[in-house]
Structure 1
Amino acid sequence: MALSYKTRRRLSLLILLVGMPLYIVVAVTLVNLLERPPFWLELIIYVLLGFLWILPFKAVFTGIGQVDPEAKKPDER
């Protein structure tokens, strides 16, 4: 089932405003469980976690910055 542009836009906003802060808290908590690894390892972990969060939401964010393809043009009625 394909989501409409409006639904994807609202869902992406929800993900960024609610999901991202929660994900950051979880990521920092997981790294803290490792008892402060070396800087280079900690950096690699954060980079990987920063990349992995977007994979499940790629379809939601695709095309959000573009003009609404379902919107009518001003000359149409």
Structure 2
Amino acid sequence: MALSYKARRRWAMVILVVGLPLYIVAAVTVMTWLDRPPIWLELLVYLALGFVWALPFRFVFRGVGQPDPDAPGDEG
């Protein structure tokens, strides 16, 4: 099922405004459950989690920053 450009823009906004803060809270909560790992390991885990959250949403974010391909263009 392909999403329209406007639907992808709306979902991208919802993911960034609602989903990302929830993911950050969850990641920090999980890290606090661990018994304070070395700083290099903690940094590595945060970097990995920062990259991994966007992988399932690649199709939503792809092309969102581009002009609407279905909008009427300037002709003439």
TM-score bracket, normalised by the shorter chain, equals: over 0.9
User: Per chain length, whose mean CA-contact separation is higher, i.e. which structure has more relative contact order (CA < 8 Å, sep 6+)?
Assistant: 2
Q: What letter matches 1:65 in structure 2?
A: G
Give structure 1 stretches of 5+ with no counterpart. Answer: none
SS at match of 2:7: helix
For structure 2, list consecutive stretches of 5 or more residues without a partner in the other structure: none
**What TM-score, normalized by structure 1, do the two folds share?**
0.94
- Runs of at least 4 residues of structure 1 off by over 4 A? none
For residues 31-50 of structure 1, the aligned pairs below 5 Å read 31-50=31-50
TM-aligned CA deviation for residue 67 of structure 1: 0.4
CA RMSD after TM alignment? 1.2
What letter corresponds to residue 7 of structure 2 in structure 1? T
